[in-house]
Amino acid sequence: MRRCFRRCAASCQNPLGLPDAVFAKESPCPHIDGLCYFSSDWADMQLPSKHRFPIDKYQMVRGLLEAEDFRVLPGPLATFHEATLAHEPSYVRRILRGDATEEMRRRVGFREAPMEGYVLRTLASLGATVAAARHTLRTGIWSGATSGGTHHAFADAGEGFCVFNDIAVAARLAQQEFGVTRVLVIDLDVHQGNGTAKIFAGDSRVYTVSVHQKKGYPFSTRFPSDLEVDLPDGCDDEQFLQALQPLEALVKRQAPQLIIYQAGVDGLAGDRFGRWNLTRPGLQARNDLVYSLAAAHGIPLILTMGGGYHKDILQTVEASADAYRQEFGVGEDGNGQTVYVYDASQEINDLGVLVMRCPLTGKNVNPFTTEVWRSIHAEFVRAASLLQAGGRRRDRREKREIERERETGREGGREGGREGGREGGREAGRENITSVFKIAYCNPDLAEGCGNEWFFALNTRKPPASEKLHSQWKAVLPSTTELVSPEACCRSLWEAIVA
């Protein structure tokens, strides 16, 4: 697999002199604590002054957010490998080589842009969403890119100001790097999300929703989403918000592990490419509806900007910025003050797991809930104790006893026996295992992001590479040679958890 990737990346010649990082396996994404967004406007793409695409809106939105003390970090350039998560390698190679034909660039809408700036900006936009996805999936904290939402890009072609489909890449990344099996894409841009819908056609792990204008762009390349809602020209706030009501039942039914939200504002009255008559308060109500659903169900969420082409660019900028301002606000308290999801009470439970409770619902909005962690912890102790008691060797009698206990519901009794400690040596071993579990998995203050590293190991089924973490295992369990091996530990965990 690695050789195949290297061959594929190596075949992508680099006449534009792109940074070597573009041809690495993945773009850099440092471990970051707390709330943040990722921007792409540091990569400049020059367009004619009267070009119909408002390229300045990205920098203006970022400026507003930074002025309001939001943390907006420059995103990395996406890599060849990341782009090919959702796109044909041959198509990605053409873009990175600067071989896009005039017709390809005309179809996208950036024919006038210098090629190097065109490619860099494309990679920066995708990289910002990739960084936001990794941040959210590593930490459980919502994030977003102050760009992206490029829902018109297909696997093998771009159109409608979209070269690579960052929504699709983020969903594929969640699947492949983090083991996510249920993604919900909520696309509320005025234009139908044709590229996203086609990329995920037949993929039951990604459910696509598109609420859009019935007429207008895309004219001949529409491809149906899993849920299509066509609304007429002149659609107002009331009609639009009514059309969003089925989302609540959908979220309950689909039980997504991740929501990717495309928050285009081209439905505003006066938008040059939209045919609706939405107001800014109407769009704010739309955002609140999506965020409240995600918060109430404890679902991680990634935000992308989407479209916005108002005759007055400030209208587009303010409405777009609202989506980021509101992402962490889920309503008002009794005093009329906006309350924020991650301003909620934060506590470390008895397993060392960070619990973040929504101030309105009281539910844990950390997607890795206490119940999940307790289950993992119990299985970890069981697997580790078995290893300490004699490795993986189990005789037939022990297997029959375990199966009989599971069938007759005596697992609780076994847990009680474990907690009471029937064997002194095993009890000491369990205490050590529990200690290691807290160190390796749950401590949010652990140096060098080792907690995140083990989180990755759990979700990718690949062992962590950290020497620091390896030495921690040795220090706590010096005599348990099998558990000292990260590979063996990950294997044991997964055997226990997925059994």
Looking at the annotation, which residues are catalytic? 152
Alpha carbons 400 and 455: distance in angstroms, whole number:
33
Is the separation of the CB atoms in 130 and 166 below 8 Å? yes
Query: Phi and psi dihedrals of 497, rounded to 5?
Result: -75, -40
The β-bridge relationship of strands 72-74 and 37-39 is parallel
Any idea what DSSP says for residue 395?
Answer: -
- For 379, residues 6+ apart whose C-beta sits below 8 A from its C-beta are 493, 496, 497
Nearest to 122 by CA among 103, 144, 105: 105
Alpha carbons 390 and 142: distance in angstroms, whole number:
43
Count other C-beta atoms under 10 Å from residue 332's C-beta.
Answer: 11
Q: Is 498 helix (H, G, I), strand (E, B) or coil?
A: helix
Q: Which CA distances in Å does 124 have to 6, 85, 303, 352?
A: 22, 16, 16, 36
Query: Phi and psi dihedrals of 53, rounded to 5?
Result: -90, 125
Residue type, 453: E
Residue type, 451: G
Burial (CB count <10 Å: 0-12, 13-18, 19+), residue 479? exposed
Alpha carbons 200 and 16: distance in angstroms, whole number:
31
Alpha carbons 101 and 94: distance in angstroms, whole number:
9
The token duo for 58 is 């990205």
Q: How far apart are the first and last CA of the chain?
A: 27
Angle subtended by helix axes 450-460 and 115-139, to nearest 10: 90
